[in-house]
Chain A
Amino acid sequence: MISTVIGVVTLVYLFAGLLFVGAALWQQERLNRAACFLLFCGLAAHLGAFAGRWVQSYQLASRHAPPEAFTATLRLVVLQVPLSNFFESLVFFSLALPSLGLLSFRRHLRDFLGAMVALLACLILAYASLGADASIKPLMPALKSNWLLIHVLTAFLGYAAFGLAFGAALLYLWQARPTPVASRRAASAVLHDLDRLIYQAVAIGFIFLTLGILTGAVWADQAWGRYWSWDPKETWSLITWFIYAGLLHARLVKGWAGLVKGWAGKRIAWLAVLGFLAVLFTYFGVSFLLSGLHSYLT
């Protein structure tokens, strides 16, 4: 049932993405609105699937060890949040991306940027259904912690925001390519908009990534007796964090002429691209290429 819903949602995202592309090519505002609506419907179903999976894994766990008091029930609900393996994290990643787009960046979610968000979500979800093990497994002892929910939630919201910044950065670099003089004026307004969007998305992502790293450290301190052990996943999240901290400060670097205006534009966009590549490596690369304490994900 849930896997069917997820399959349908994947298609809905694909269709929404195509509508966004159409809106961009034919300059049709109506198509943009239709795509937004479709994305919204897909998101609602996606949220339903997420909740359904949560209920399922709760039921499974409570059959094994029925909670007695109300607080124990609540605890089990928190523990069984479906964020504990690769499949579930992919589903949440692809859930966070359009949610963030629709909630925080509604105004920008159109044309090619809308298409990127919808298609990226579609791609991740398709990968989840085809390439990851969807069975619900009971929680191993190390994952039984209240920190699981907040740690994974914040980390993936951060990833989603960085994904958005990545989309905006790609568009920026595409728009900023050398063009005939005539269209430069129009392009520069768009570029200014995209530049601000990159900054805003990175700022949100940075907050969440920081929270993700901090909660992860607290959890590691409790579970492994060490808040930081240079495990590859930790290290790569730190690398990602360094890159985005670099981006945020690069905007403040004074130009050669002593102008207050920071490095804006292309270099920032490249840093946003680099940062998201680091995000992807933290998420996929580390799990598959490097081994470490986080490798239960695979």
Chain B
Amino acid sequence: MPPLFSDLTSRLWRNLTSIRLTVILLLVLALVATVGTVVPQGEPVARYLARFGPGMGGFLVRIGLHHIYRSPWFLLPVALLTLNLLACLFRGLPQALRRVARPLTWETAQSLPERGRFSLPPGSDPTPRVLKALRREVGRPRVASPNPNRIVFLVERGRFRPLGPYIIHLSLLLILVGGLVSLFCSVEGRLLLLEGESARSFVLSDRSERPLGFEVRLDDFTVRFYEQGIPAEFRSDLTFFQNGREVAKAACRVNYPVTFGGLTFYQSSYGTRLDGPLTLKVCQGQDCHVLKAPLRQVLTLPDGKAQLIPVRVASNLHGLGPAVQVAVKSGPGHPKVFWVSRNHPELADRAGTPFYQPGPRRVLLEDLPFKFYSVFQVRRDPGVWWVYSGFLLSLPGLCLAFLLPPQRWAVVLTQKPDGRWEGRLLGASPRARETFTAKTNRLLARLKQKL
């Protein structure tokens, strides 16, 4: 390789594997995401123009800040971080594996710093005593006897700690892959079903239709309320059909999605829709007539002097229950427009309310045949499994990295010519000095205890 080129690649490699780059990228991502919460995301362009002014709003849209998480502002640092992560993994993982593969041995233990000395009287076997002390304070040791007048006890905790960060990094890669898979391979749409209605397709976010591959029917929709009128549960009872045959029934509730044929249905919202004509009663004094009135169709009243149109309906107007807005036209001049409440006909006499009906004629609402509809989020997302495996993998990684610091101890017993055993306690734990020192001191005190 020409020197200039190899110099360049090694510079590039150094930068790509540098943690300084990691820190910078993480802070840049924090900043970009902050911008993403200040500028609302994914709204129609006109909103930005209205909110930020034509100049600024147009500029924001042009440089892609209205879809920041799909713009290079975000994706570029993420891509760089991914490269950075891969490079670190490539560089550091073999080393970490080598370190883990080499357990503490007598040879490596000799280089540990000395933490204290003690001595044991001649005659008795010192092994059980030291074993007990070690087990009590730091853990089960391995025992070696490199030569006849020397016994070595080795305790190693947190041996696998070096793998921790790499497991975390691997899990992040899995999550990133999952995010990409979700971005490019997921199918997401909505499905609106009236009670009793069935569907063979759903609507994607770009308004195009997509076949479900089966048929689904909404049998029933129920809302349960608490006493205070707060909704307690939304529930859609669904039946699935394949080739015209009923194959499954399921209840879809919030937090309890239903999966069928590879698609998952989430209870997303609901509403009511008019189902058939309304029943009105029109009274003039004691003279009353019941009428069936389809929505938005002109109806001539029985006395022939006026016309009535039901304009729109509400399932719960101002918390007063179902109501219909009607326009009544009698003679020249503007039609009178008012609401008719089913549960509160007395409001018709209350001037100043939207329910007030001027004149001697009274319109009453007998029946408003409402039907529930339920809206589902429909989704297939193969990225979820990648993301979830990343989640699972990150747990042992976090434990290893933060909760299991490497700690090593060695007790070396040497028999002196007079039969006395001289003991040396060695050990080190660069990442957890405080706990290590405390444990070591307790261990030393126990070893020094007179019998």
Contacts and interface: CB of A to CB of B under 8 A. Distances in A.
Interface residues of A, number: 47
B143 interface: no
A64 B232 contact: yes
B23 A253 contact: yes
Nearest to B432: A200
Contacts of A232: 37
Contact of B391 (A137, A214, A246): A214
Interface stretch (B101-109, B113-121, B253-261, B331-339): B253-261
Interface string A215-242: 0011001111111101010011011001
A243 B230 contact: no
A164 B414 CA distance: 47
Contacts of A221: 384
A1 B298 CA distance: 62
Interface string B215-255: 00000000000111011111000000000000000000111
Interface in A128-180: 137-142, 144-145
B257 A225 contact: yes
Contacts, number: 114
A207 interface: yes
A191 interface: no
A142 B248 CA distance: 25
Interface in B10-61: 18-20, 22-23, 26-27, 29-30, 33-34, 36-37, 41
Contact of A140 (B20, B231, B377, B433): B231
Interface in A46-89: 64-65
A107 B434 contact: yes
A155 to B, nearest CB: 15
Contact of B255 (A138, A222, A290): A222
B71 to A, nearest CB: 13
Interface-central residue, A245, A278, A290, by most chain B CB under 10 Å: A245
Contact of B26 (A142, A217, A249): A249
B30 A246 contact: yes
Given A144-B254, A224-B266, A217 B391 contact: yes
| Consensus secondary structure, chain B interface | helix
A250 interface: yes
A242 B26 contact: yes
Given A107-B434, A142-B254, A144-B255, A243 B27 contact: yes
B388 A226 contact: no
B180 to A, nearest CB: 13
Contacts of B27: 242-243, 246
Contacts of B30: 239, 242-243, 246, 278
B255 A223 contact: yes
B387 interface: yes
Interface in A177-216: 196, 203-204, 206-207, 210-211, 214
A278 B232 CA distance: 34
A252 interface: yes
Contacts of B179: 228
B6 to A, nearest CB: 21
A218 B388 contact: yes
Contact of B23 (A137, A204, A246): A246
A257 to B, nearest CB: 14
Interface string A4-39: 000000000000000000000000000000000000
Contacts of B253: 141
A204 B402 contact: yes
B407 interface: no
A124 to B, nearest CB: 24
A245 to B, nearest CB: 5
Nearest to A238: B33
Interface of A: 64-65, 107, 137-142, 144-145, 196, 203-204, 206-207, 210-211, 214, 217-218, 221-228, 230, 232, 235-236, 238-239, 242-243, 245-246, 249-250, 252-254, 278, 286, 290
